[in-house]
């Protein structure tokens, strides 16, 4: 563990278990993820085998109950894990984050029968999971979704299209928000849809700026039959379930930005200590020293803020949602800026794939957009401050 991370975590007096969890995730990331991250990115390779290796380490169900194979850890523990993984590859870490978000929704809102049916295979990572909320016509305004689920006999029949779904086509389980009545957000229900459900198909893998190691596809429902036993909770509860999943998901995504940005700062420190211009190491120019000082300050502020927000969620604090939104907005903005500054400090070499910096900038950019854009985070924060 490097001094930068160690010094900041002491603010939160991490206990021995938390340090052990952090070190375990760092060791796995350094050994199995970091050496491959650039290849996965270049070849758009989804490393299902390495993702599945995280199951036995307890990372398939980080904050899932232990009776179904989860690790029953807290949200701060999870943040430490995602931060550590994303120092090796934010895109890899983000996929594990989405998988955990889906598993936690089933753990929290599923019946005991559903928990036992789905969670042991999700926590072990035998099955991988995706989250399907966004549609071509509704992203930020998620409650305007149009995918329909109509009950007939012992099944629901789903029709509609989900857009931008991470892991689509590779995942085994899809948690899907669909409309069971016309009643706005109260007409939305949540279904667990297995990959082999009749009438389920996937669009082409999108060509995108970053996150190349995971697919992003449409998920298409054409008279897709899902057994009624796959409805989570009750009809109409789906929007609340979707938003509850995102509260924690937002902290995880912020942690992925934090780890990626820390990696960028570490690379910039090493590079500026070696690179020479005008007869001296470039880290001797005060303008660049000030830049590095600002990057460190902002990243440490982001880290402390994120850990505080995670502690709020662990304690079920009444303002935990507002803190999750503030942390997501703040940490993903800082993370992107730090990575972008690190690219600038590398000069032209920062623009080359082999230096690993441009990948970080590309990967971190989308964290400002998904799991609620940073504008929507401001909407949530402002509502909490001043009411609707």
Ligand X SMILES: Cc1cc2nc3c(=O)[nH]c(=O)nc-3n(C[C@H](O)[C@H](O)[C@H](O)COP(=O)(O)OP(=O)(O)OC[C@H]3O[C@@H](n4cnc5c(N)ncnc54)[C@H](O)[C@@H]3O)c2cc1C
Q: Which residues bind ligand X (CB under 6 A)?
A: 98, 130-134, 139-140, 164-166, 208, 211, 216, 366, 369-373, 375-376, 379
Q: Which is nearer to ligand X, 32 or 212 (CB)?
A: 212
Nearest residue (beta carbon) to ligand X: 139
Is residue 232 within 8 Å of 110, Cβ to Cβ? yes
Instruction: Write the DSSP string, 111-140.
Output: -HHHHHHHHHHHHTTSS-EEEE--BTTBSS
Pick the closest to residue 135 from 233, 230, 25, 220 (CA basis).
220
Under DSSP, the state recorded for 197 is -
Smallest gap from Cβ 371 to ligand X, in A, equals 6
280-281/276-277 β-pairing: antiparallel
* Nearer to ligand X (CB atom), residue 177 or residue 282: 177
Contact between residue 107 and residue 60 where contact means Cβ atoms under 8 Å apart:
no
Measured from the CB atom, the residue of 228 and 382 that comes closer to ligand X is: 382
Residue with smaller CB distance to ligand X, 8 or 216: 216
Q: Tell me which of 274, 298, 371, 375 is the catalytic residue.
A: 371
Rounded CA gap, 220 and 159, in Å? 8
Shortest distance, CB of residue 252 to ligand X, whole angstroms?
Answer: 13
Residue 325 backbone phi and psi in degrees, to 5:
-65, -40
Taking the complex as a whole, the smallest distance from the CB of residue 232 to ligand X amounts, in Å, to 16
Residue 219 CA to residue 214 CA, distance in Å, equals: 15
- Output the smallest distance, CB 283 to ligand X, in A: 35
Beta carbon of residue 202, minimum distance to ligand X (angstroms, whole number): 13
Instruction: For strands 173-179 and 231-232, give the pairing.
Output: unpaired
Quick one: which of 244, 250, 302, 211 has its CA closest to 82?
A: 250
Task: Tell me the residue ranges of DSSP E strands in the chain.
Answer: 129-132, 148-152, 155-166, 173-179, 188-194, 200-202, 216-227, 231-232, 276-277, 280-281
Instruction: Work out the number of other CB atoms within 10 angstroms of the CB of residue 364.
Output: 31
Cα R_g (the chain), whole angstroms: 21
126 is catalytic: no
Taking the complex as a whole, the smallest distance from the CB of residue 130 to ligand X amounts, in Å, to: 6
In the bound state with ligand X, the residue whose beta carbon lies nearer, of 127 and 307, is 127
Query: Is residue 114 a contact partner of residue 232, using CB atoms and an 8 Å limit?
Result: yes
C-beta closer to ligand X: residue 141 or 222:
141
> Which are the catalytic amino acids?
371
């Amino acid at each position: 563990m490097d001094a930068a991370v160690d010094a900041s975590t002491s603010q939160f007096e991490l206990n021995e278990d938390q340090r052990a969890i952090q070190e375990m995730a760092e060791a796995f990331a350094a050994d199995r993820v970091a050496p491959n991250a650039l290849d996965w990115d270049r070849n758009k390779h989804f490393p299902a085998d390495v993702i599945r290796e995280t199951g036995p380490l307890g990372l398939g169900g980080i904050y899932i109950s232990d009776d179904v194979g989860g690790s029953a850890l807290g949200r701060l523990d999870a943040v430490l894990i995602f931060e550590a993984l994303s120092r090796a590859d934010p895109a890899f870490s983000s996929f594990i984050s989405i998988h955990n978000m889906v598993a936690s929704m089933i753990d929290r809102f599923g019946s005991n029968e559903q928990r036992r049916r789905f969670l042991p295979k999700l926590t072990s990572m035998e099955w991988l999971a995706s989250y399907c909320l966004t549609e071509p016509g509704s992203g930020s305004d998620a409650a305007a979704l149009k995918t329909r689920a109509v009950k007939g006999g012992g099944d629901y029949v789903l029709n509609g299209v989900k857009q931008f779904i991470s892991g689509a086509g590779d995942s085994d389980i899809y948690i899907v928000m669909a409309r069971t009545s016309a009643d706005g957000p109260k007409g939305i229900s949540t279904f667990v849809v297995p990959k082999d459900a009749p009438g389920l198909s996937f669009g082409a893998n999108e060509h995108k700026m970053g996150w190349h190691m995971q697919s992003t596809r449409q998920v298409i429902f054409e008279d897709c039959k899902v057994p009624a036993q796959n409805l989570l909770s009750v009809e109409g509860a789906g929007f609340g379930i979707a938003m509850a999943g995102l509260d924690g998901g937002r902290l995880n995504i912020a942690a992925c930005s934090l780890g990626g940005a820390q990696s960028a700062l570490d690379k910039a420190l090493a590079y500026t200590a070696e690179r020479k211009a005008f007869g001296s190491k470039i880290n001797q120019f005060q303008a660049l020293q000030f830049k590095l000082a600002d990057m460190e300050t902002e990243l440490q502020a982001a880290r402390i803020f994120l850990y505080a927000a995670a502690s709020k969620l662990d304690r079920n604090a009444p303002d935990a949602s507002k803190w999750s939104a503030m942390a997501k907005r703040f940490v993903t903005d800082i993370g992107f800026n730090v990575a972008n500054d690190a690219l600038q400090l590398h000069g032209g070499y920062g623009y080359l794939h082999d230096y690993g910096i441009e990948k970080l900038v590309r990967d971190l950019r989308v964290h400002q957009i998904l799991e609620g854009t940073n504008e929507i985070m401001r909407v949530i924060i402002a509502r909490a401050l001043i009411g609707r």
